[in-house]
Amino acid sequence: MSYRAPVEEMAFTLRHVAGLDAVLTQGGHEMAPEDVTAILDEAGKLANGVIAPLNRAGDRHGATLQDGAVTTAPGWREAYRAFVDGGWNGLGATPEHGGQGLPHLMAAACTEMWNGANLSFGLCPLLTAGGIEALTAHGSADLKARYLGKLVSGEWTATMNLTEPQAGSDLALLRSRAEPIGDGRYRIVGSKIYITYGEHDLTDNIVHLVLARLKDAPAGTRGISLFLVPKVLPDGTRNDLRCSGLEHKLGIHASPTCSMAFGDAGGAIGWLIGEENRGLACMFTMMNSARLNVGLQGVGVAEAAYQHALAYARDRRQGRAPGAPETSAIVAHADVQRMLLTMKASTAAARGICYLTAQALDAADGPEGRAAFERASLLTPVAKAFATDIANEVTSLGVQVHGGMGFIEETGAAQLMRDARILGIYEGTNGIQAIDLVTRKLPLSGGATARAQIATMRRVAEGLLKDGSPGFGHAAARLRDGVCSLDRATSFLLTTLGSNHPDAALAGAAPYLRLFGLVQGAACLAQAGLASSAVLKAGDTDPACGARIALARFFTENLLPAAGGLEQAVIDGGAFVEDAAAVLAG
């Protein structure tokens, strides 16, 4: 199993779908297209040559726990060292703390690569990136000075300690406690589960960001505070916290998923991040960054599954394609082509959505400001859930392309499917993302944020009509139909949210998110196709351009037509909430 970062496609998507050039100009980055390609090429070398080769062995070895110490899989330490030495950890962080200060958009492309190469490995810096964001936005000057530099360099890593056995999606049920002990310090006591890289041997220190309740804090989510709790205290002594167990998981075996015990010996020492009882807001800074990055994990693993299946389909000979003189490689069979094109097109669509989201984050720092920030907020749940849903589908198709071999672990296709399965669950399940999209993001600016985004999709459909290249087939009509479905479903939900039956909006949340992702993804592929058509019309003959047009056609003609059914489910399907209790009682 060998992963190659699809640098050319990534660069094309960055420029022609997500508007990288404008982002660079606006951000004052002096970077020529060659510089962009050079960075992506270098990242690709590390991903392909150092990180990807560890993926299979990492699955077999996993991480191990002994006497409270976690040992990562063979090669992990060396790869992490190479990653940090290359300066990749702080790609998007501000130069003030030692980061490279590159746009979110460039960081997004690199995140896709690390995770396409190896989800278990990619998770570690993903968590650190979230910690950097939370600390940058909410940490005191003192905490920043002490921790930010080493997190940006990657000398230390960060974790998110949210979940407790009784508190998963519902953080209001948190029980971990914190008590001030003067000097701005707190004692933290509690148990956390599902802590990714909660303990490991990659670095000398680990910076835990921990949600806990102060004594007398209000009940529910308004009584939760966020603390920085380092494994090793500033004076060099070990803090009162330990890894009490590792989970036995379906996938990402090489990523240690820890149960953490804080304060067995009286209390772990921690420092408040942000204000007391405002911890959830701080954690959301971290979560939003992590949600986009989890979407990028989905893109990465889907790309890896596509490459893996394509290589097999080119090699495996079975049956004779119509008109073929002898046994064909299975890539020549229409049904296998449909599977591979579905994989490729779904991955490209999800990539487009994730990059658009990163672009909105970059634009939010510029003159577009609040509108761009709201766009990023709107797109984040779509990027997270759509990209990870298709990651499940694409990795499962990867198994299917392999036939019986796909079910045999040695092939590697099954690992990608097992690894991908967590993506739709962690950092807020995809059901939570759908509820977030419908109840919190659609209402932004009275619905204007969503309307504006839908208008950009409609303009792409109009562009297809104007372009008129026969290679697009029915793409223009299909995209127009899809946009109309999304538009009507959006109107329905906005009306319903304001009614006395908000349940009907919740009932339609999941199909609505899928609908949004499908149409937005189709618009991204069509945009790439239009840019390619312009290149061809200008006299160039790059075969990749023809392929992009064909891919847009495939997606709009074969996958996007699901939009109509999803619209019906959103608008007419919600009656089940009245009957569900009776049906599920049986």
Contacts of its own copies in 225-264 (CB under 8 A): 247-251
Strand partners, 406: none
The amino acid occupying position 432 is I
Q: How far is the CB of 147 from its own copies (least distance, A)?
A: 27
Applying CB under 8 A, which of residues 194, 227, 262, 355 lies at the interface with its own copies? 194
C-beta of 44 vs 98, nearer to its own copies: 44
Q: Are 14 and 102 in contact (CB under 8 A)?
A: no
C-beta of 89 vs 415, nearer to its own copies: 415
Residues contacting 449, CB < 8 A, separation 6+:
371, 374, 375, 377, 378, 441
**Tokens 């199909």 sit on residue:** 511
E strand or H helix at 270: strand 268-273
- Contacts to its own copies from residues 420-479, by CB under 8 A: 421-422, 424-426, 429-431, 434-435, 471, 473-474, 478
Q: How far is the CB of 142 from its own copies (least distance, A)?
A: 34
DSSP SS3 for 206: strand
Residue 275 binds its own copies (CB under 8 A): no
C-beta of 4 vs 29, nearer to its own copies: 4
Please report which residue ranges of 49-118 form alpha helices under DSSP H: 55-61, 76-85, 104-117
Taking residue 58's Cβ as centre, other Cβ atoms within 10 Å add up to 27
Applying CB under 8 A, which of residues 236, 410, 468, 538 lies at the interface with its own copies? 410
C-beta of 101 vs 168, nearer to its own copies: 168
DSSP SS3 for 317: strand
E strand or H helix at 181: strand 177-182
Binding mask 288-317 for its own copies (x = CB under 8 A): ----------------------x------x
Q: How far is the CB of 562 from its own copies (least distance, A)?
A: 4
Q: Are 485 and 551 in contact (CB under 8 A)?
A: no
Applying CB under 8 A, which of residues 154, 412, 511, 529 lies at the interface with its own copies? 511
Strand partners, 192: 260
How many angstroms separate the CA atoms of 93 and 551, rounded?
35
Applying CB under 8 A, which of residues 169, 445, 495, 499 lies at the interface with its own copies? 169
Q: How far is the CB of 471 from its own copies (least distance, A)?
A: 8
Residue 586 binds its own copies (CB under 8 A): yes
Binding mask 32-71 for its own copies (x = CB under 8 A): ----------------------------------------
Burial class (CB in 10 A: 0-12, 13-18, 19+), 547: middle
Q: How many residues bind its own copies (CB under 8 A)?
A: 103
Q: How far is CA 465 from CA 456, 469, 564, in A?
A: 15, 9, 20
Residue 583 binds its own copies (CB under 8 A): yes
C-beta of 71 vs 439, nearer to its own copies: 439
Applying CB under 8 A, which of residues 340, 350, 353, 358 lies at the interface with its own copies? 340
C-beta of 181 vs 544, nearer to its own copies: 544
Applying CB under 8 A, which of residues 32, 141, 538, 585 lies at the interface with its own copies? 585
Q: How far is the CB of 429 from its own copies (least distance, A)?
A: 6
Residues contacting 316, CB < 8 A, separation 6+:
329, 330, 403
- Angle at CA 566, nearest 5°, toward 564 and 568? 75
- Contacts to its own copies from residues 551-580, by CB under 8 A: 551, 553-554, 557-566, 568-569, 572-577, 579-580
Kindly report each contact of residues 483-487 with a partner whose C-beta sits within 8 Å and lies 24 or more positions away, as own/partner: 483/454, 483/457, 483/458, 483/519, 483/523, 485/515, 485/519, 485/563, 485/564, 485/566, 485/567, 486/454, 486/457, 486/515, 486/516, 486/519, 486/563, 486/567, 487/454
Strand partners, 213: 177
C-beta of 240 vs 303, nearer to its own copies: 303
Taking residue 167's Cβ as centre, other Cβ atoms within 10 Å add up to 18
Active site residues: 427
Q: How far is the CB of 477 from its own copies (least distance, A)?
A: 9
What φ, ψ does residue 475 adopt, rounded to 5°? -55, -40
Q: How far is the CB of 391 from its own copies (least distance, A)?
A: 12
**Tokens 């071999």 sit on residue:** 405
Q: How far is the CB of 102 from its own copies (least distance, A)?
A: 27
C-beta of 374 vs 467, nearer to its own copies: 467
How many angstroms separate the CA atoms of 341 and 338, rounded?
5
Applying CB under 8 A, which of residues 341, 356, 364, 391 lies at the interface with its own copies? 341
C-beta of 36 vs 569, nearer to its own copies: 569
Q: How far is the CB of 210 from its own copies (least distance, A)?
A: 18
Residue 284 binds its own copies (CB under 8 A): no
Q: How far is the CB of 386 from its own copies (least distance, A)?
A: 15
Give the 3-state DSSP-derived string for 7-49, with helices as H, strands as E and coil as C: HHHHHHHHHHHCCHHHHHHHCCCCCCHHHHHHHHHHHHHHHHH
C-beta of 22 vs 547, nearer to its own copies: 547
Q: Which stretch binds its own copies (CB under 8 A): 41-49, 163-171, 351-359, 526-534?
A: 163-171
- Contacts to its own copies from residues 316-335, by CB under 8 A: 317-319, 322, 327, 331-335
Applying CB under 8 A, which of residues 213, 384, 418, 458 lies at the interface with its own copies? 418
C-beta of 203 vs 415, nearer to its own copies: 415
- Angle at CA 357, nearest 5°, toward 449 and 387? 110
Applying CB under 8 A, which of residues 100, 400, 456, 491 lies at the interface with its own copies? 400
Applying CB under 8 A, which of residues 75, 101, 168, 443 lies at the interface with its own copies? 168
Residue 339 binds its own copies (CB under 8 A): yes
Residue 147 binds its own copies (CB under 8 A): no
Query: Which residue, 318, 292, 334, 308, is CA-closest to 394?
Result: 308
- Contacts to its own copies from residues 535-554, by CB under 8 A: 543-544, 546-547, 550-551, 553-554
Q: How far is the CB of 199 from its own copies (least distance, A)?
A: 18
Strand partners, 225: 212
